Amino acid sequence: MISIKKLIPILIIISNNALGNISNDNSQISSLIFSNIKEKKIEIDEVSYLALSLEILLPKKIVQNELEKLYNKIGKFKKEKKVITCEVRSKGESLSFFSTIEKNKKKVILNVSDGDELINRVSLANVLDSFKKILMRRFLNDYIKKIEDDISKTDKTQNRIIRNNPKKLEMNIGILYNIYQKNESKKIRLKASLESLYAELDKVKNQFNSIK
């Protein structure tokens, strides 16, 4: 499974246009991470069930950890082998369902079923929609951390160049002149890089905050 550190730059490069229009919505980047919710047959212990299925382009460990945290928050859950069962009680009503997680190449497939021919289809779809928002926040939050780390590294490099660059030079001395010009050029590039990173950071934070 591809790590999220490697996945973030790949998806951000692909979704560059989406991030450039954050004021609209996050549907474009969401469509890169998630498939549409589909109906499919799954089999557990040779018994067939109808389920809602969602493909996710994130590491399985992250998907499973976030799913268990969600189920623990909304109700009681237990895990047996490859099946996670959740029971939600609210205002005298109850909803029981179970989930399985599969790996298919670079994607994770999350299946959710009530074991009863999807009588609770709307409720299960709402659970999946809520989970998608949780994973979107996780993805964007990890990207924010990566940008902040890049800013820190770039800032340190820029400061080191400024410290090492002589303040007073005899500009007609060839080798020192070349070193000075090279360092000045690096400073300009690093400044532009920092400005770009800060702009990207603001965009991603806005997108993170837009998830309701």
Q: What is the pTM of this model?
A: 0.71
Q: Which of 65, 95, 58, 94 is nearest to 79 (CA)?
A: 65
pLDDT at position 134 is 92
Do residues 18 and 33 make contact, with C-beta atoms less than 8 angstroms apart?
no
Q: End-to-end CA distance of the chain, in Å?
A: 29
Burial 128-158 (b: 16+ CB within 10 A, else e): beebbeebbebbbeebbebbeebbeebeeeb
Which pLDDT belongs to residue 68?
94
d(CA 134, CA 54): 14
**Residue 164 CB coordination number (10 Å):** 9
CATH number of 4-140: 3.30.310
Show me where the domains of the chain are located.
4-140, 146-210
pLDDT of 13 = 41
State the Cα–Cα distance between residues 101 and 72, nearest whole angstrom: 17
Q: What is the pLDDT of residue 46?
A: 87
Residuewise pLDDT in 10s, the chain (212 residues): 445 455 444 444 434 443 444 434 467 778 888 999 999 999 998 899 999 999 999 999 999 999 999 999 999 999 988 899 999 987 778 889 999 999 988 899 999 999 988 999 999 999 999 999 999 999 888 888 888 888 888 777 766 655 555 554 444 444 444 555 555 556 556 666 777 777 877 887 887 788 77
The pLDDT of residue 182 is 59
Distance of alpha carbon 195 from alpha carbon 164, whole angstroms: 22
